[in-house]
Structure 1
Protein backbone atom coordinates (compact mmCIF):
# COMPACT_ATOMS: atom_id res chain seq x y z
CA UNK A 1 0.00 0.00 0.00
CA UNK A 2 1.35 3.41 -0.98
CA UNK A 3 1.98 5.93 1.80
CA UNK A 4 1.62 9.68 1.37
CA UNK A 5 2.36 12.82 3.35
CA UNK A 6 0.06 15.72 2.53
CA UNK A 7 0.29 19.48 3.02
CA UNK A 8 3.03 21.99 2.33
CA UNK A 9 4.43 22.17 5.85
CA UNK A 10 4.30 18.39 6.30
CA UNK A 11 6.14 17.79 3.03
CA UNK A 12 8.76 20.40 3.90
CA UNK A 13 9.18 18.86 7.36
CA UNK A 14 9.62 15.47 5.72
CA UNK A 15 12.35 16.83 3.46
CA UNK A 16 14.15 18.58 6.32
CA UNK A 17 13.92 15.45 8.50
CA UNK A 18 15.32 13.19 5.79
CA UNK A 19 12.16 11.14 5.46
CA UNK A 20 12.74 8.56 2.67
CA UNK A 21 10.68 10.23 -0.08
CA UNK A 22 10.10 8.41 -3.38
CA UNK A 23 8.70 11.42 -5.22
CA UNK A 24 6.73 14.61 -4.71
CA UNK A 25 3.55 15.61 -6.55
CA UNK A 26 2.76 19.31 -6.48
CA UNK A 27 1.03 22.05 -8.41
CA UNK A 28 3.75 24.48 -7.27
CA UNK A 29 7.13 22.75 -7.83
CA UNK A 30 9.09 26.01 -7.61
CA UNK A 31 8.43 26.12 -3.85
CA UNK A 32 9.96 22.67 -3.36
CA UNK A 33 12.91 23.34 -5.65
CA UNK A 34 13.96 26.12 -3.26
CA UNK A 35 14.51 23.42 -0.62
CA UNK A 36 15.76 20.38 -2.54
CA UNK A 37 16.75 19.35 -6.04
CA UNK A 38 17.63 15.77 -5.18
CA UNK A 39 14.07 14.42 -4.97
CA UNK A 40 11.96 13.62 -8.02
CA UNK A 41 9.27 16.29 -8.40
CA UNK A 42 6.19 15.91 -10.57
CA UNK A 43 4.19 18.97 -11.56
CA UNK A 44 0.51 18.03 -11.51
CA UNK A 45 -2.84 19.79 -11.27
CA UNK A 46 -5.26 19.94 -8.36
CA UNK A 47 -7.55 17.32 -9.89
CA UNK A 48 -4.69 14.81 -9.95
CA UNK A 49 -3.88 15.51 -6.29
CA UNK A 50 -7.53 15.23 -5.29
CA UNK A 51 -7.66 11.79 -6.89
CA UNK A 52 -4.37 10.76 -5.31
CA UNK A 53 -5.26 11.47 -1.67
CA UNK A 54 -8.30 12.29 0.43
CA UNK A 55 -6.42 14.54 2.84
CA UNK A 56 -6.20 18.33 2.58
CA UNK A 57 -3.04 18.44 0.46
CA UNK A 58 -2.71 22.22 -0.11
CA UNK A 59 -1.10 21.42 -3.47
CA UNK A 60 1.66 19.20 -2.03
CA UNK A 61 1.84 15.40 -1.69
CA UNK A 62 4.95 13.31 -1.04
CA UNK A 63 5.00 9.55 -1.56
CA UNK A 64 7.26 7.93 1.00
CA UNK A 65 8.76 4.48 1.29
CA UNK A 66 6.72 1.84 3.06
CA UNK A 67 6.99 1.94 6.84
CA UNK A 68 7.90 -1.50 8.12
CA UNK A 69 6.76 -2.82 11.48
CA UNK A 70 9.45 -4.31 13.72
CA UNK A 71 9.28 -7.55 15.66
CA UNK A 72 9.05 -7.74 19.45
CA UNK A 73 12.66 -8.85 19.80
CA UNK A 74 13.75 -5.43 18.53
CA UNK A 75 12.98 -3.98 21.97
CA UNK A 76 15.36 -6.35 23.70
CA UNK A 77 18.07 -6.18 21.05
CA UNK A 78 18.01 -2.39 21.36
CA UNK A 79 18.09 -2.66 25.17
CA UNK A 80 15.29 -0.12 25.28
CA UNK A 81 14.90 1.67 28.61
CA UNK A 82 11.41 3.01 27.94
CA UNK A 83 8.66 1.98 25.57
CA UNK A 84 5.12 3.19 24.94
CA UNK A 85 2.13 0.87 24.68
CA UNK A 86 -1.06 2.31 23.17
CA UNK A 87 -4.08 0.32 24.33
CA UNK A 88 -6.46 0.64 21.33
CA UNK A 89 -6.02 4.30 20.39
CA UNK A 90 -8.44 4.91 17.51
CA UNK A 91 -8.17 8.59 16.57
CA UNK A 92 -5.49 9.16 13.87
CA UNK A 93 -4.92 12.73 15.04
CA UNK A 94 -4.18 11.52 18.56
CA UNK A 95 -1.85 8.81 17.25
CA UNK A 96 0.02 11.28 15.05
CA UNK A 97 0.42 13.77 17.90
CA UNK A 98 1.61 10.99 20.23
CA UNK A 99 4.25 9.91 17.70
CA UNK A 100 5.55 13.47 17.35
CA UNK A 101 5.71 13.92 21.13
CA UNK A 102 7.32 10.52 21.70
CA UNK A 103 10.01 11.37 19.17
CA UNK A 104 10.67 14.72 20.85
CA UNK A 105 10.98 13.02 24.24
CA UNK A 106 13.60 10.58 22.98
CA UNK A 107 11.40 7.48 23.08
CA UNK A 108 11.83 5.23 20.05
CA UNK A 109 9.57 2.18 20.51
CA UNK A 110 5.76 2.32 20.19
CA UNK A 111 3.57 -0.76 20.50
CA UNK A 112 0.02 -1.02 19.18
CA UNK A 113 -2.42 -3.96 19.00
CA UNK A 114 -3.21 -5.48 15.60
CA UNK A 115 -6.96 -5.19 16.04
CA UNK A 116 -9.28 -2.31 17.01
CA UNK A 117 -6.51 0.27 16.75
CA UNK A 118 -5.59 3.02 14.33
CA UNK A 119 -2.82 2.16 11.87
CA UNK A 120 -0.10 4.33 10.33
CA UNK A 121 -2.46 6.10 7.96
CA UNK A 122 -1.75 9.16 5.83
CA UNK A 123 -3.50 11.30 8.45
CA UNK A 124 -1.32 9.89 11.22
CA UNK A 125 1.85 10.57 9.24
CA UNK A 126 0.73 14.11 8.40
CA UNK A 127 -0.06 14.97 12.01
CA UNK A 128 3.23 13.49 13.21
CA UNK A 129 5.04 16.02 10.96
CA UNK A 130 8.04 13.77 10.42
CA UNK A 131 7.98 12.45 13.97
CA UNK A 132 7.78 8.88 12.70
CA UNK A 133 11.34 9.09 11.38
CA UNK A 134 13.65 6.69 13.26
CA UNK A 135 10.73 5.44 15.36
CA UNK A 136 10.17 1.70 15.69
CA UNK A 137 6.57 0.55 15.55
CA UNK A 138 5.58 -2.91 16.74
CA UNK A 139 2.22 -4.66 16.38
CA UNK A 140 1.17 -7.33 18.87
CA UNK A 141 -1.70 -9.80 18.87
CA UNK A 142 -2.35 -9.33 22.58
CA UNK A 143 -1.20 -6.53 24.87
CA UNK A 144 -1.61 -8.80 27.89
CA UNK A 145 0.61 -11.49 26.37
CA UNK A 146 3.13 -8.85 25.41
CA UNK A 147 3.24 -7.53 28.98
CA UNK A 148 3.89 -11.07 30.21
CA UNK A 149 6.92 -11.18 27.91
CA UNK A 150 8.10 -7.80 29.16
CA UNK A 151 7.97 -9.02 32.73
CA UNK A 152 10.30 -11.89 31.84
CA UNK A 153 12.73 -9.27 30.57
CA UNK A 154 12.43 -7.37 33.88
CA UNK A 155 10.41 -4.44 32.58
CA UNK A 156 8.32 -2.38 35.01
CA UNK A 157 4.79 -1.79 33.81
CA UNK A 158 3.07 1.55 34.48
CA UNK A 159 -0.56 2.14 33.58
CA UNK A 160 -2.32 5.50 33.37
CA UNK A 161 -5.64 5.26 35.14
CA UNK A 162 -7.65 6.76 38.00
CA UNK A 163 -7.98 3.52 39.93
CA UNK A 164 -7.89 3.43 43.74
CA UNK A 165 -4.23 2.47 43.86
CA UNK A 166 -3.05 5.09 41.36
CA UNK A 167 -0.26 7.44 42.44
CA UNK A 168 0.15 11.06 41.40
CA UNK A 169 2.83 11.16 38.72
CA UNK A 170 5.05 13.63 40.58
CA UNK A 171 5.27 11.18 43.49
CA UNK A 172 6.34 8.20 41.40
CA UNK A 173 9.93 6.95 41.41
CA UNK A 174 10.14 5.26 38.04
CA UNK A 175 12.11 2.05 37.69
CA UNK A 176 13.79 1.10 34.42
CA UNK A 177 13.43 -0.44 31.92
CA UNK A 178 9.76 0.48 31.81
CA UNK A 179 6.64 0.44 29.72
CA UNK A 180 4.05 3.22 29.86
CA UNK A 181 0.53 2.18 28.89
CA UNK A 182 -1.89 4.79 27.57
CA UNK A 183 -5.55 3.82 27.24
CA UNK A 184 -8.06 4.48 24.49
CA UNK A 185 -9.93 7.75 24.14
CA UNK A 186 -13.25 6.32 25.28
CA UNK A 187 -12.46 3.48 27.68
CA UNK A 188 -8.95 4.09 28.96
CA UNK A 189 -6.83 1.05 29.78
CA UNK A 190 -8.68 -2.24 29.45
CA UNK A 191 -9.41 -4.06 32.72
CA UNK A 192 -7.35 -7.10 31.74
CA UNK A 193 -4.32 -4.89 31.09
CA UNK A 194 -4.83 -2.81 34.25
CA UNK A 195 -4.58 -5.97 36.36
CA UNK A 196 -1.09 -6.60 35.00
CA UNK A 197 0.52 -3.26 35.88
CA UNK A 198 3.13 -2.82 38.59
CA UNK A 199 1.91 0.67 39.34
CA UNK A 200 -0.92 2.85 38.12
CA UNK A 201 -0.29 6.57 37.80
CA UNK A 202 -2.35 9.68 37.11
CA UNK A 203 -1.92 13.35 36.27
CA UNK A 204 -3.56 15.63 38.86
CA UNK A 205 -5.92 18.20 37.34
CA UNK A 206 -6.37 21.60 38.99
CA UNK A 207 -9.03 23.19 36.82
CA UNK A 208 -12.62 22.34 36.05
CA UNK A 209 -11.92 19.81 33.28
CA UNK A 210 -12.27 16.15 34.18
CA UNK A 211 -9.73 14.66 31.79
CA UNK A 212 -6.97 15.41 29.26
CA UNK A 213 -6.70 14.45 25.62
CA UNK A 214 -4.65 11.25 25.41
CA UNK A 215 -1.95 12.86 23.28
CA UNK A 216 -1.53 15.70 25.78
CA UNK A 217 -1.43 13.27 28.70
CA UNK A 218 1.16 11.16 26.89
CA UNK A 219 3.39 14.18 26.41
CA UNK A 220 3.21 15.16 30.10
CA UNK A 221 4.11 11.65 31.21
CA UNK A 222 6.93 11.04 28.72
CA UNK A 223 8.67 14.26 29.70
CA UNK A 224 8.56 13.17 33.34
CA UNK A 225 10.82 10.25 32.46
CA UNK A 226 14.58 10.51 32.41
Structure 2
Protein backbone atom coordinates (compact mmCIF):
# COMPACT_ATOMS: atom_id res chain seq x y z
CA UNK A 1 0.00 0.00 0.00
CA UNK A 2 1.09 3.63 -0.48
CA UNK A 3 3.47 4.93 2.18
CA UNK A 4 4.39 1.48 3.34
CA UNK A 5 8.14 1.67 3.83
CA UNK A 6 8.31 -2.00 4.64
CA UNK A 7 7.52 -3.16 1.12
CA UNK A 8 10.30 -4.50 -1.06
CA UNK A 9 12.20 -1.76 -2.94
CA UNK A 10 10.59 1.08 -1.02
CA UNK A 11 13.86 2.28 0.52
CA UNK A 12 17.19 3.08 -1.18
CA UNK A 13 20.30 1.40 0.08
CA UNK A 14 22.97 3.63 1.48
CA UNK A 15 25.61 4.68 -1.00
CA UNK A 16 23.53 3.75 -4.07
CA UNK A 17 22.43 7.29 -4.91
CA UNK A 18 24.46 9.07 -7.56
CA UNK A 19 25.84 12.24 -6.15
CA UNK A 20 27.30 15.33 -7.81
CA UNK A 21 30.41 14.87 -9.89
CA UNK A 22 33.34 16.25 -7.95
CA UNK A 23 35.68 16.70 -10.96
CA UNK A 24 38.11 14.92 -13.23
CA UNK A 25 41.04 15.42 -10.96
CA UNK A 26 43.06 16.87 -13.85
CA UNK A 27 42.71 13.78 -16.05
CA UNK A 28 41.14 15.73 -18.90
CA UNK A 29 43.71 18.48 -18.64
CA UNK A 30 46.59 16.00 -18.77
CA UNK A 31 45.09 14.25 -21.81
CA UNK A 32 45.14 17.55 -23.68
CA UNK A 33 48.82 18.15 -23.04
CA UNK A 34 49.87 15.66 -25.74
CA UNK A 35 53.05 13.64 -26.03
CA UNK A 36 55.25 16.09 -27.89
CA UNK A 37 56.03 16.40 -31.59
CA UNK A 38 55.46 13.39 -33.86
CA UNK A 39 58.77 11.63 -34.66
CA UNK A 40 59.99 11.58 -38.24
CA UNK A 41 58.82 8.63 -40.32
CA UNK A 42 62.34 7.20 -40.54
CA UNK A 43 62.61 7.29 -36.73
CA UNK A 44 59.51 5.12 -36.21
CA UNK A 45 60.65 1.45 -36.31
CA UNK A 46 57.33 0.17 -37.66
CA UNK A 47 57.21 2.70 -40.55
CA UNK A 48 58.23 1.69 -44.09
CA UNK A 49 60.58 4.69 -44.27
CA UNK A 50 62.50 3.41 -41.25
CA UNK A 51 62.76 -0.04 -42.81
CA UNK A 52 64.07 1.47 -46.06
CA UNK A 53 66.63 3.50 -44.14
CA UNK A 54 67.80 0.42 -42.22
CA UNK A 55 68.09 -1.59 -45.44
CA UNK A 56 70.10 1.17 -47.13
CA UNK A 57 72.44 1.50 -44.13
CA UNK A 58 72.87 -2.25 -44.01
CA UNK A 59 73.78 -2.39 -47.71
CA UNK A 60 76.19 0.52 -47.39
CA UNK A 61 77.82 -1.08 -44.37
CA UNK A 62 78.63 -4.25 -46.26
CA UNK A 63 80.48 -2.56 -49.08
CA UNK A 64 81.86 0.42 -47.17
CA UNK A 65 81.10 3.27 -49.54
CA UNK A 66 78.25 2.69 -52.01
CA UNK A 67 78.72 3.48 -55.68
CA UNK A 68 76.71 6.16 -57.50
CA UNK A 69 74.38 3.51 -58.94
CA UNK A 70 73.94 1.96 -55.52
CA UNK A 71 73.11 5.34 -54.00
CA UNK A 72 70.53 5.92 -56.72
CA UNK A 73 68.76 2.67 -55.98
CA UNK A 74 69.06 2.92 -52.21
CA UNK A 75 67.45 6.35 -52.01
CA UNK A 76 70.42 8.67 -52.33
CA UNK A 77 71.31 11.18 -54.96
CA UNK A 78 71.10 14.95 -55.07
CA UNK A 79 67.52 16.10 -55.22
CA UNK A 80 66.36 12.58 -56.06
CA UNK A 81 62.86 11.32 -55.55
CA UNK A 82 62.42 7.81 -54.23
CA UNK A 83 59.77 5.27 -55.11
CA UNK A 84 57.66 4.04 -52.20
CA UNK A 85 58.18 0.29 -51.99
CA UNK A 86 60.81 -2.37 -52.38
CA UNK A 87 61.20 -3.90 -55.81
CA UNK A 88 61.81 -7.45 -56.93
CA UNK A 89 64.31 -7.72 -59.80
CA UNK A 90 64.06 -11.08 -61.57
CA UNK A 91 65.89 -12.83 -64.38
CA UNK A 92 69.51 -13.94 -64.46
CA UNK A 93 70.87 -11.13 -66.65
CA UNK A 94 69.02 -8.42 -64.72
CA UNK A 95 70.17 -9.77 -61.36
CA UNK A 96 73.80 -10.15 -62.48
CA UNK A 97 73.93 -6.60 -63.86
CA UNK A 98 72.31 -5.16 -60.74
CA UNK A 99 74.78 -6.91 -58.46
CA UNK A 100 77.74 -5.89 -60.62
CA UNK A 101 76.61 -2.28 -60.28
CA UNK A 102 76.93 -2.56 -56.51
CA UNK A 103 73.25 -2.07 -55.73
CA UNK A 104 72.51 -2.95 -52.10
CA UNK A 105 70.46 -6.14 -52.05
CA UNK A 106 68.02 -6.97 -49.28
CA UNK A 107 67.51 -10.65 -50.14
CA UNK A 108 68.57 -13.09 -52.86
CA UNK A 109 66.02 -15.73 -53.87
CA UNK A 110 67.00 -18.92 -55.69
CA UNK A 111 64.60 -21.58 -56.90
CA UNK A 112 65.04 -25.06 -55.42
CA UNK A 113 67.01 -27.50 -57.62
CA UNK A 114 68.13 -24.65 -59.86
CA UNK A 115 70.23 -25.64 -62.85
CA UNK A 116 73.51 -23.79 -62.43
CA UNK A 117 75.33 -21.81 -65.10
CA UNK A 118 77.95 -19.05 -65.13
CA UNK A 119 75.42 -16.38 -64.18
CA UNK A 120 73.91 -18.24 -61.23
CA UNK A 121 77.37 -19.13 -59.95
CA UNK A 122 78.34 -15.45 -60.11
CA UNK A 123 75.15 -14.48 -58.27
CA UNK A 124 75.79 -16.97 -55.47
CA UNK A 125 79.46 -15.98 -55.22
CA UNK A 126 78.69 -12.25 -55.10
CA UNK A 127 75.95 -12.77 -52.51
CA UNK A 128 78.30 -14.84 -50.33
CA UNK A 129 81.13 -12.28 -50.55
CA UNK A 130 78.81 -9.36 -49.75
CA UNK A 131 76.94 -11.20 -47.01
CA UNK A 132 73.54 -10.87 -48.66
CA UNK A 133 70.79 -13.12 -47.23
CA UNK A 134 70.32 -16.05 -49.61
CA UNK A 135 67.06 -17.99 -49.54
CA UNK A 136 66.10 -21.13 -51.45
CA UNK A 137 62.40 -21.11 -52.25
CA UNK A 138 60.03 -23.16 -54.35
CA UNK A 139 59.25 -22.07 -57.88
CA UNK A 140 55.66 -21.50 -56.81
CA UNK A 141 56.83 -19.05 -54.16
CA UNK A 142 59.19 -17.39 -56.65
CA UNK A 143 56.32 -17.03 -59.11
CA UNK A 144 54.35 -15.27 -56.39
CA UNK A 145 57.22 -12.96 -55.45
CA UNK A 146 57.84 -11.95 -59.07
CA UNK A 147 54.14 -11.61 -59.88
CA UNK A 148 54.30 -14.37 -62.45
CA UNK A 149 57.13 -12.90 -64.55
CA UNK A 150 59.84 -14.99 -66.23
CA UNK A 151 62.41 -15.15 -63.42
CA UNK A 152 64.63 -18.04 -64.62
CA UNK A 153 64.83 -19.24 -61.04
CA UNK A 154 66.55 -16.11 -59.69
CA UNK A 155 65.31 -12.89 -58.08
CA UNK A 156 66.57 -10.24 -55.68
CA UNK A 157 64.82 -7.72 -53.49
CA UNK A 158 66.31 -4.24 -53.77
CA UNK A 159 65.57 -0.97 -51.96
CA UNK A 160 63.31 1.53 -53.74
CA UNK A 161 64.77 3.30 -56.77
CA UNK A 162 65.88 6.88 -56.13
CA UNK A 163 65.60 9.18 -59.11
CA UNK A 164 68.38 11.55 -60.08
CA UNK A 165 68.02 15.29 -60.54
CA UNK A 166 67.90 16.73 -64.07
CA UNK A 167 71.22 18.47 -63.45
CA UNK A 168 72.80 15.13 -62.55
CA UNK A 169 72.42 14.01 -66.17
CA UNK A 170 74.43 17.00 -67.41
CA UNK A 171 77.01 16.38 -64.70
CA UNK A 172 77.36 12.78 -65.89
CA UNK A 173 77.91 14.01 -69.45
CA UNK A 174 80.57 16.46 -68.31
CA UNK A 175 82.36 13.72 -66.36
CA UNK A 176 82.35 11.45 -69.42
CA UNK A 177 84.01 14.07 -71.64
CA UNK A 178 81.36 13.60 -74.34
CA UNK A 179 78.59 15.88 -75.55
CA UNK A 180 75.42 15.43 -73.48
CA UNK A 181 72.88 12.97 -74.89
CA UNK A 182 69.61 12.75 -72.92
CA UNK A 183 66.40 10.88 -73.76
CA UNK A 184 63.15 12.46 -72.52
CA UNK A 185 59.86 10.54 -72.44
CA UNK A 186 56.58 12.38 -72.90
CA UNK A 187 53.48 10.49 -71.76
CA UNK A 188 55.04 7.00 -71.89
CA UNK A 189 53.04 5.05 -69.30
CA UNK A 190 54.19 1.46 -69.92
CA UNK A 191 57.15 0.55 -67.66
CA UNK A 192 58.25 -2.04 -70.22
CA UNK A 193 58.72 0.75 -72.75
CA UNK A 194 60.78 2.64 -70.16
CA UNK A 195 62.88 -0.47 -69.64
CA UNK A 196 63.45 -0.81 -73.39
CA UNK A 197 64.46 2.86 -73.62
CA UNK A 198 66.91 2.38 -70.75
CA UNK A 199 68.43 -0.60 -72.53
CA UNK A 200 68.88 1.36 -75.77
CA UNK A 201 70.18 4.39 -73.86
CA UNK A 202 72.83 2.25 -72.23
CA UNK A 203 73.76 0.58 -75.52
CA UNK A 204 74.25 3.84 -77.44
CA UNK A 205 75.91 5.95 -74.76
CA UNK A 206 73.11 8.21 -73.53
CA UNK A 207 73.81 9.95 -70.25
CA UNK A 208 70.35 9.48 -68.79
CA UNK A 209 66.60 9.36 -69.25
CA UNK A 210 64.15 12.09 -68.25
CA UNK A 211 60.57 11.23 -67.21
CA UNK A 212 57.72 13.36 -65.80
CA UNK A 213 56.35 12.70 -62.33
CA UNK A 214 52.72 12.39 -63.41
CA UNK A 215 51.08 10.29 -66.11
CA UNK A 216 54.33 8.51 -66.88
CA UNK A 217 55.97 5.19 -66.11
CA UNK A 218 58.50 4.92 -63.31
CA UNK A 219 61.32 2.49 -62.62
CA UNK A 220 59.40 -0.57 -61.45
CA UNK A 221 60.25 -4.26 -61.45
CA UNK A 222 58.90 -4.50 -65.02
CA UNK A 223 61.22 -1.73 -66.17
CA UNK A 224 64.14 -3.41 -64.40
CA UNK A 225 63.38 -6.70 -66.12
CA UNK A 226 63.15 -5.30 -69.65
CA UNK A 227 66.20 -3.08 -69.20
CA UNK A 228 68.34 -6.20 -68.62
CA UNK A 229 70.32 -4.38 -65.94
CA UNK A 230 70.63 -1.04 -67.76
CA UNK A 231 68.56 0.58 -65.00
CA UNK A 232 71.59 0.12 -62.76
CA UNK A 233 73.88 2.02 -65.15
CA UNK A 234 71.71 4.68 -66.78
CA UNK A 235 70.36 7.32 -64.36
CA UNK A 236 66.69 8.28 -64.55
CA UNK A 237 65.65 11.79 -63.55
CA UNK A 238 62.04 12.47 -62.60
CA UNK A 239 60.88 16.06 -63.02
CA UNK A 240 57.77 17.91 -61.98
CA UNK A 241 57.32 19.76 -65.28
CA UNK A 242 58.87 18.35 -68.46
CA UNK A 243 58.22 21.52 -70.47
CA UNK A 244 60.11 23.72 -67.99
CA UNK A 245 62.98 21.23 -67.87
CA UNK A 246 63.27 21.24 -71.66
CA UNK A 247 63.30 25.04 -71.58
CA UNK A 248 66.13 24.96 -69.04
CA UNK A 249 68.05 22.46 -71.17
CA UNK A 250 67.66 24.70 -74.21
CA UNK A 251 68.96 27.66 -72.24
CA UNK A 252 71.95 25.50 -71.28
CA UNK A 253 72.72 24.97 -74.98
CA UNK A 254 71.09 21.61 -75.72
CA UNK A 255 69.39 20.96 -79.06
CA UNK A 256 65.93 19.40 -78.60
CA UNK A 257 64.68 16.92 -81.23
CA UNK A 258 61.24 15.35 -80.89
CA UNK A 259 60.18 12.04 -82.43
CA UNK A 260 56.69 12.08 -83.91
CA UNK A 261 54.98 10.34 -86.81
CA UNK A 262 53.87 13.73 -88.15
CA UNK A 263 57.35 15.25 -88.05
CA UNK A 264 58.58 17.85 -90.53
CA UNK A 265 61.61 15.75 -91.45
CA UNK A 266 62.99 12.26 -90.95
CA UNK A 267 65.49 11.02 -88.40
CA UNK A 268 68.09 10.37 -91.12
CA UNK A 269 67.90 13.98 -92.32
CA UNK A 270 68.50 15.58 -88.91
CA UNK A 271 72.18 16.50 -88.47
CA UNK A 272 73.00 14.84 -85.16
CA UNK A 273 76.36 16.48 -84.69
CA UNK A 274 78.49 16.42 -81.57
CA UNK A 275 76.40 19.25 -80.09
CA UNK A 276 74.51 18.58 -76.82
CA UNK A 277 71.24 16.81 -77.64
CA UNK A 278 67.90 15.95 -76.04
CA UNK A 279 65.86 13.30 -77.84
CA UNK A 280 62.17 13.50 -76.89
CA UNK A 281 60.03 10.38 -77.42
CA UNK A 282 56.24 10.61 -77.24
CA UNK A 283 53.69 7.94 -76.45
CA UNK A 284 52.70 5.40 -79.08
CA UNK A 285 49.09 6.52 -79.26
CA UNK A 286 49.18 10.33 -78.84
CA UNK A 287 52.76 11.13 -79.79
CA UNK A 288 54.19 14.39 -78.47
CA UNK A 289 51.95 16.67 -76.45
CA UNK A 290 51.32 20.16 -77.81
CA UNK A 291 53.41 22.00 -75.21
CA UNK A 292 56.34 19.61 -75.46
CA UNK A 293 56.26 19.74 -79.24
CA UNK A 294 56.46 23.53 -79.07
CA UNK A 295 59.76 23.24 -77.18
CA UNK A 296 61.39 21.07 -79.84
CA UNK A 297 63.91 22.68 -82.20
CA UNK A 298 63.09 19.96 -84.73
CA UNK A 299 60.43 17.25 -85.00
CA UNK A 300 61.47 14.13 -86.91
CA UNK A 301 59.63 11.02 -88.03
CA UNK A 302 60.90 7.48 -88.56
CA UNK A 303 59.85 6.24 -92.03
CA UNK A 304 57.82 3.02 -91.73
CA UNK A 305 55.58 0.96 -94.00
CA UNK A 306 52.08 2.30 -94.44
CA UNK A 307 50.61 -0.95 -93.10
CA UNK A 308 52.06 -0.23 -89.66
CA UNK A 309 50.43 2.62 -87.79
CA UNK A 310 53.26 3.48 -85.39
CA UNK A 311 56.24 2.23 -83.41
CA UNK A 312 56.25 1.93 -79.66
CA UNK A 313 58.43 4.26 -77.65
CA UNK A 314 61.12 1.68 -76.93
CA UNK A 315 61.65 0.78 -80.59
CA UNK A 316 61.52 4.42 -81.76
CA UNK A 317 64.09 5.49 -79.17
CA UNK A 318 66.40 2.63 -80.16
CA UNK A 319 66.28 3.55 -83.86
CA UNK A 320 66.87 7.24 -83.20
CA UNK A 321 69.72 6.58 -80.77
CA UNK A 322 71.39 4.30 -83.31
CA UNK A 323 71.20 7.08 -85.91
CA UNK A 324 72.71 9.55 -83.43
CA UNK A 325 75.56 7.14 -82.64
CA UNK A 326 76.15 6.40 -86.34
CA UNK A 327 76.39 10.06 -87.36
CA UNK A 328 78.61 10.95 -84.42
CA UNK A 329 80.94 8.02 -85.14
CA UNK A 330 81.35 9.19 -88.75
CA UNK A 331 82.30 12.64 -87.56
Structure 2 partner of 1:172: 270
Please identify which structure carries the higher strand content: 1
Structure 2 partner of 1:209: 308
Structure 2 partner of 1:52: 145
Alignment partner of 1:20 out of 96, 103, 109: 103
TM-score by length of 1: 0.89
Within a 5 Å distance, the mapping from 1:83-162 to structure 2 comes to 83-162=182-261
CA distance in structure 2 between the aligned counterparts of 1:67 and 1:212, rounded to whole angstroms:
28
CA distance in structure 2 between the aligned counterparts of 1:122 and 1:174, rounded to whole angstroms:
33
Q: How many residues align?
A: 224
Question: Higher relative contact order at CA 8 Å, sep ≥6: structure 1 or structure 2?
Answer: 1
| Structure 2 CA distance for partners of 1:18 and 1:29, relative to 1, 3 Å | farther
Structure 2 partner of 1:70: 164
| Structure 2 CA distance for partners of 1:146 and 1:186, relative to 1, 3 Å | same
Which is higher, the Rg of structure 1 or of structure 2? 2
Alignment partner of 1:42 out of 127, 132, 135: 135
**What SS is found at the alignment partner of 1:132?**
helix
CA distance in structure 2 between the aligned counterparts of 1:195 and 1:159, rounded to whole angstroms:
10
Please identify which structure carries the higher helix content: 2
CA distance in structure 2 between the aligned counterparts of 1:82 and 1:123, rounded to whole angstroms:
24
TM-score by length of 2: 0.62
Alignment partner of 1:3 out of 84, 87, 90: 87
CA distance in structure 2 between the aligned counterparts of 1:184 and 1:213, rounded to whole angstroms:
7
Structure 1 partner of 2:284: 185
CA distance in structure 2 between the aligned counterparts of 1:120 and 1:75, rounded to whole angstroms:
16
| Structure 2 CA distance for partners of 1:33 and 1:195, relative to 1, 3 Å | closer
- Structure 1 residue 95 displacement after superposition: 1.3
The answer (yes or no) to whether the contact 1:55–1:123 under 8 Å persists in 2 is: no
- Structure 1 residue 147 displacement after superposition: 1.1
- Structure 1 residue 107 displacement after superposition: 0.7
CA distance in structure 2 between the aligned counterparts of 1:29 and 1:62, rounded to whole angstroms:
17
| Unpaired segments ≥5 residues, structure 1 | none
1:120-146 superposed Cα distances (whole Å, 9 cap, x missing partner) = 111110111101122111111111111
- Structure 1 residue 11 displacement after superposition: 2.9
| Structure 2 CA distance for partners of 1:145 and 1:33, relative to 1, 3 Å | closer
| Structure 2 CA distance for partners of 1:20 and 1:29, relative to 1, 3 Å | farther
**What SS is found at the alignment partner of 2:230?**
coil
- Structure 1 vs Structure 2 CA RMSD: 2.2
